[in-house]
Amino acid sequence: MKAWVYILRCSDGSLYTGWTNDIEKRFASHNRGTASKYTRGRRPVEIVFKEGFKTKEEAMSREAEIKSMTRADKLLIVGQDNK
């Protein structure tokens, strides 16, 4: 895969959605606190969902779609009950 969309679960239980060309490198950056302001104060994070795409544009489109969803819908994607 050339690009990935991912959802992270932060230490406070919140969910963060992003896209990347290198999922392992980006995940490590999130846990170092160098990837985003949002996750910096909510470490450690864990990947709870990832989806691969052939192009950056497809991944970015899917990221926007997921970001527009409710938390309940995101929890369905990651395979959890809406608690």
Secondary structure class of 21 (helix, strand, coil): coil
The model's pTM: 0.92
Q: Is 3-77 CATH 3.40.50.170?
A: no
Secondary structure class of 77 (helix, strand, coil): helix
What is the C-alpha to C-alpha distance for residues 80 and 83, in angstroms, rounded to an integer? 8
83 falls in which pLDDT band (50, 70, 90)?
Answer: very low
pLDDT digits (tens, 9 = 90+) for 20-73: 999 999 999 999 999 999 999 999 999 999 999 999 999 999 999 999 999 999
**Confidence at residue 81, expressed as pLDDT on a 0 to 100 scale:** 55
pLDDT digits (tens, 9 = 90+) for 12-26: 999 999 999 999 999
Secondary structure class of 50 (helix, strand, coil): strand
What is the C-alpha to C-alpha distance for residues 46 and 12, in angstroms, rounded to an integer? 11
